[in-house]
Amino acid sequence: MIDGAWFDFLPTGRGTSRGDVEILAYSCEIRFPDYLTTFPRFVRYDLNPPGHANEAAEMRCHVHPGHDDLKMTAPFIEPLEILDLCVYGLTWPEKVRTSLGG
């Protein structure tokens, strides 16, 4: 099904002395199509680099649910897990809940 959502993924890494790549930070944002008016416009998972100001507030890993100024602490998620979530793990509900009662 083509649903109109799309995402981008930006990892930041550095090479190690063993020849591996160490992930220092990432940003993965999924944007939802306009017809999904009850959803946030986007959801972004961020892992800020070490030493970032968010680290002092214990929010180096966080998620932005639809607004850059709104963020919630999130667990560390491996970059490949985030890609898997964005590509395969999200599905659209047949019915979007219209009230707390269901």
Segment 61-89, tens digit of pLDDT? 999 999 989 999 988 888 888 888 777 76
Q: How large is the C-alpha radius of gyration of the chain?
A: 16
Amino acid at 29: E
For residues 44-70, give the mean pLDDT: 88
pLDDT of residue 64: 92
What is the pLDDT confidence band of residue 90, given thresholds at 50, 70 and 90? Answer: low
For residues 6-30, give the mean pLDDT: 90
* Of 5, 11, 7, nearest in space to 27 by CA: 11
Answer yes or no: is 73 within a domain.
yes
55-60, long-range: CB < 8 A, 24+ apart: none
Q: Rounded to whole angstroms, how far apart are CA atoms 32 and 76?
A: 23
With contact defined as beta carbons under 8 Å apart, do 21 and 14 qualify? yes
Answer yes or no: is 23 within a domain.
yes
Answer yes or no: is 95 within a domain.
no
Structural domain containing residue 69: 6-89
Answer yes or no: is 101 within a domain.
no
pLDDT of 99 above 60: no
What total number of domains does the chain contain?
A: 1
